[in-house]
Amino acid sequence: MKLRIATRASNLALVQTRWVGEQIRRHFPELAIEEVHVRTQGDRIQDRPLAEVGGKGLFVSEVEAVVVRGDADFAVHSLKDVPGDVPLAEGMGILSVPVREDPRDVLVTVDGTDLASLKRGARVGTTSRRRMVQLQRQRPDLGFVPLRGNIETRIRKLHEGQCDAIVLAAAGLARTGVLDETPHSLLPPDICLPAVGQGALAIEGALGNETLIEQLKSIEDPIARIQITAERAMLQKLEGNCHSSIAGHASTRDGRLKLEAMVASYDGDQMLSATSDTYLDLTSADAIEQAHRLGEGVGDHLLSQGARDLIRQAELAAVQNQLISN
């Protein structure tokens, strides 16, 4: 029997997909794994921020379409790329969430300089509003330059001097095996709260494929599923989009689930935060529902502080900036 996995063709995406295939084959060694590579619009457009050309959903929709039309059995996505404001295709779902990598961001420099030690006026490469507004709050003197491309391209641009530092997800560096050899400093959540779902993978397939669901259940991680359920429930409550500076980080410790969240204005002048936690029995039948309620509660708290206005203003500011740049 063969399983066909739809994936983007970037190095990181292939590393993630091959890791998923290996994990499945540990439980089902008789299975053959075939990769179906998809070059998405998000991969093709490298000269503009993702928010200007359709958001992170560009990395998901075309890969998803391959599964929908039957040319692959399931897809592997970086979960942070799966939009919270756009539903998956009809009949599709996130069938498995494997063990999660470190969700934190890292600051990468040529010599490992940390955020506090960056020279005054340093240029930081990132196109993420979430990262910009949080780092600027810590270091108002920093400048930011657009940075697109895969991990290798971004690190090369750093060494070419196009910027003094870049911000990347720790998970991507860890999965590609270059974290230890790349000079970096971790950005803790109290400095830079991660993107919703960062560090996690989403395995998408047809909800009616019982055989596939049983196979993918073998690599499901209950803790990762609970964490991303809380984070995405918060995001969906806010109706956040690709223009919004929204962050969410769920953690489990000593039998409790904690969710920290942030919403900021487009320029970062206004920043709202909310935190909540609850006791959670990971083995209980309603653990997922409890996590969902926690996420919605944090979202409601942010909305009560005025998050909806910040999100709308951010969307308007992004559109205006795009018109000016064009």
Angle between helices 11-27 and 151-159 (to 10 degrees): 140
Count Cα neighbours of 292 within 13 Å in the Cβ-side half-sphere: 5
Give the integer Cα–Cα distance in Å for 292 and 225.
Answer: 11
Quick count: other Cβ atoms within 10 Å of Cβ 177? 9
Give the integer Cα–Cα distance in Å for 1 and 208.
Answer: 19
Put residue 83 in one of left, alpha, beta given phi > 0 → left and psi -120 to 50 → alpha: beta
Q: Do residues 151 and 172 make contact, with C-beta atoms less than 8 angstroms apart?
A: yes
Put residue 142 in one of left, alpha, beta given phi > 0 → left and psi -120 to 50 → alpha: beta
- Say whether 81 is catalytic: yes
User: Catalytic pick from 43, 73, 81, 105?
Assistant: 81
User: And the tokens for 145?
Assistant: 């330059």
Tokens 């970096």 correspond to: 184
Give the integer Cα–Cα distance in Å for 285 and 135.
Answer: 40
Which residues are tagged catalytic?
81
